[in-house]
């Protein structure tokens, strides 16, 4: 048995080296950077300054602006994502001949590179020849093209929609697995009592979906916080409607302010760690369809 233990550590060694070297060491390092005045443009001016960066961040108008942008995107992703993943799951769950083909169609958005997803949606909302404007022209609802991505809230809404569209399939699959695990007997009993489809959905399916709802909600939340690629493709690194991750990137890699950027990173990490905790808990508990 003793030898067994040694062998186990042997099996774990390669993964440990990689994780320690590229995840844990950098996380500690990020914290150290965050307590320093550290600009890559002035390397000789590196100095320990305590929590000065954090104080500066909380005072910064730009940070607050980015913070609220992230909250809005998150809310849109959760709202659209939750409703449409349940609808998608119900459709995929229906016993029709082509449901396998529908699943094939449904997983495609999931597989898209997020940055390409941004490009795809840019063509929908492009003001000159975007799909939306063409439709609205065709229906004679507008005379001038709508500039969808020129305002703050329009941009945030479209970003949220774009991200939700990509993550809906995954969430739908989680719901679907949960739905398929609900015993048929429960529905049959309800039918005997004269329940119709809608009643069955709200009184049986919905309450029994609670375990997977936890996974879906945390997943949507994390996707909302972590948006980056889609935004770069949709609007680039501009200030208008800029959420936290883009703010963090420009501070760090455009202004080369590593100390300040690291502190921003830590703040976002703690915020998303808060949600991540619930995710881990639901994973460890075994989530839904067991």
Contacts (CB under 8 A) with other proteins, residues 171-200:
173-174, 177-178
Q: Which is nearer to other proteins, 134 or 199 (CB)?
A: 134
Q: Which stretch in 27-35, 50-58, 146-154, 184-192 sits in contact with other proteins by CB under 8 A?
A: 27-35
User: Which residues, numbered 75-104, are part of the site for other proteins (CB under 8 A)?
Assistant: 88, 91, 94, 96, 98, 102-104
Instruction: Give least dist CB 285 to other proteins, A.
Output: 6
Binding of residue 242 to other proteins (CB under 8 A): no
By CB under 8 A, is residue 29 in contact with other proteins? yes
| Cβ at position 56, least distance to other proteins in Å | 17
* 30 is an interface residue for other proteins by CB under 8 A: yes
Count residues near other proteins (CB under 8 A). Answer: 98
Q: Which of 19, 141, 142, 210 binds other proteins (CB under 8 A)?
A: 19
| Alpha carbon distance 240, 59 (integer Å) | 19
Among 120, 146, 186, 190, binds other proteins (CB under 8 A): 120
Q: Which stretch binds other proteins (CB under 8 A): 17-25, 56-64, 187-195, 196-204?
A: 17-25
CB nearer other proteins, residue 107 or residue 146 = 107
Supply 62's token pair: 């730009």
Binder to other proteins among 134, 150, 202, 240 (CB under 8 A)? 134
Q: How far is the CB of 179 from other proteins (least distance, A)?
A: 12
Q: Is 106 in the site for other proteins (CB under 8 A)?
A: yes
Q: Which is nearer to other proteins, 81 or 261 (CB)?
A: 261
The footprint of other proteins on residues 50-79 (CB under 8 A) is none
Encode the chain in three state secondary structure. Answer: CHHHHHHHHHHHHHHHHHHHHHHHHHHHHHHHHHCEECECCCHHHCEECCCHHHHHHHHCHHHHHHHHHHHHHHHHHHHHHHHHHHHHHHHHHCCCCCHHHHHHHHHHHHHCCHHHHHHHHHHHHCCCCCHHHHHHHHCCCCCCCCCHHHCHHHHHHHHHHHHHHHHHHHHHHHHHHHHHCCCHHHHHHHHHCCCCHHHHHHHHHHHHCHHHHHHHHHHHHHHHHCCCHHHHHHHCCCCCCCCHHHHHHHHHHHCCEHHHHHHHHHHHHHHHHHHHHHHHHHHHHCCCCC
Site for other proteins in 243-272 (CB under 8 A): 245, 248-249, 252-253, 258, 261-262, 265-266, 268-269, 272
Nearer to other proteins, 208 or 222 (CB): 222
Establish if 43 lies at the interface with other proteins (CB under 8 A): no
263-266, long-range: CB < 8 A, 24+ apart: 263/34, 263/53, 263/54, 263/57, 264/57, 264/63, 265/30, 265/34, 266/30, 266/31, 266/34, 266/54
With respect to other proteins, which residue has the nearer C-beta, 189 or 200?
Answer: 200
Q: Is 5 in the site for other proteins (CB under 8 A)?
A: yes
Tell me the C-alpha distance between 106 and 110, whole Å.
8
């Amino acid at each position: 048995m003793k030898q067994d233990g040694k062998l186990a550590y042997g099996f774990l060694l390669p993964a440990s080296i990689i994780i320690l070297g590229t995840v844990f060491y950098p996380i500690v390092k990020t914290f150290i950077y965050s307590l320093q005045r550290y600009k890559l443009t002035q390397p000789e001016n590196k100095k320990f300054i305590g929590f000065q960066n954090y104080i500066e961040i909380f005072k910064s108008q730009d940070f607050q602006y980015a913070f609220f942008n992230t909250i809005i995107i998150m809310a849109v992703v959760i709202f659209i994502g939750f409703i449409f993943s349940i609808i998608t799951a119900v459709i995929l769950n229906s016993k029709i001949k082509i449901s396998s083909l529908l699943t094939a169609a449904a997983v495609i958005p999931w597989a898209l590179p997020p940055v390409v997803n941004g490009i795809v949606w840019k063509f929908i909302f492009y003001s000159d020849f975007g799909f939306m404007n063409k439709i609205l022209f065709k229906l004679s609802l507008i005379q001038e093209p709508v500039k969808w991505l020129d305002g703050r809230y329009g941009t945030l809404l479209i970003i949220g929609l774009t991200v939700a569209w990509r993550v809906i399939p995954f969430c739908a699959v989680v719901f679907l697995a949960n739905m398929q695990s609900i015993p048929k007997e429960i529905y049959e009993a309800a039918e005997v009592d004269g329940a119709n489809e809608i009643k069955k959905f709200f009184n049986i399916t919905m309450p029994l979906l609670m375990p997977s709802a936890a996974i879906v909600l945390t997943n949507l939340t994390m996707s909302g916080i972590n948006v980056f690629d889609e935004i770069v493709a949709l609007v680039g690194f501009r200030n208008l409607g800029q959420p936290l991750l883009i703010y963090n990137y420009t501070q760090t890699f455009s202004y080369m302010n590593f100390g300040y950027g690291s502190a921003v990173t830590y703040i976002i990490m703690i915020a998303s760690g808060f949600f991540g905790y619930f995710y881990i808990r639901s994973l460890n508990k075994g989530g839904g369809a067991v």
